[in-house]
Amino acid sequence: MREYLLSIGDKDYKAKVKEINSQEAVVIINDIEYRVKLKQLGRKQQAPAKRTIENKAASTPTTATQVKTTHESANTITSPLPGLILEISVKEGESVKAGQTVLVMESMKMENQIQAPYDGVVKKILVKNGDSVIEGENLLEISRPFMTTL
């Protein structure tokens, strides 16, 4: 559990992040637990420069231009920070539940579990083990079931 010392105005608070995913966090502040909705995870970033990917079959570099830094599709999970994909825990066509770990990435020598933000079915996996990704890069798509009630 990550711990922080926050200063709001002239008062200090001890805060612990108990749980976090792309939509909400469970935070303990001065021994009181709060469930908070996240409006933005990470920092906004300008459009990235094109990156070069080594095409192992042809041994010539190709340019990737499909990198997106914003949530252009509500069904796309994007990387919250730059890192290396270590493990993909799901397969295309597999059903997932909200909060389920879909992949693990390493960033700043720490493993980060990327979780499904909602129930659905994995539509497309856009990365593979060993890929380096930048903040905001699309990782996978999860299709949401049609809502029958509000």
Of residues 29, 6, 3, 20, the one with CA closest to residue 80: 20
Residue 75, token pair as written in the block = 């069904």
Specify the pTM. 0.49
Give the residue with greater pLDDT, 14 vs 87. 87
> What string of DSSP letters covers 44-99?
--PPPPPEEEEETTTTEEEEE-----S--STTEEE-SS-EEEEEE---TT-EE-TT
Residue 50, token pair as written in the block = 């094109």
Is it the case that residue 134 has pLDDT exceeding 50?
yes
The residue-averaged pLDDT of 44-49 equals 49
Give the residue with greater pLDDT, 40 vs 92. 92
The residue-averaged pLDDT of 93-120 equals 90
Is it the case that residue 122 has pLDDT exceeding 90?
yes
Is it the case that residue 89 has pLDDT exceeding 90?
yes
**pLDDT bracket for residue 148 (50, 70, 90):** very low
The residue-averaged pLDDT of 81-106 equals 92
Q: At 47, give phi and psi (nearest 5°).
A: -55, 135
The residue-averaged pLDDT of 103-119 equals 89
Say how many C-beta atoms besides its own lie within 10 A of residue 85's C-beta.
19
Residue 104, token pair as written in the block = 């693990």
- 42's torsion region: left (phi>0), alpha (psi -120 to 50) or beta? left
Provide CB contacts within 8 A for 135, sequence distance 6+. 42, 43, 45, 69, 79, 80, 81, 82
- Domains of the chain by range and CATH? 2-37 (no CATH), 66-143 (2.40.50.100)
Is it the case that residue 59 has pLDDT exceeding 90?
no
Q: What is the pLDDT of residue 104?
A: 93
Of residues 89, 69, 39, the one with CA closest to residue 133: 69
% of the chain exceeding 90 in pLDDT:
26
State the average pLDDT for the chain. 76
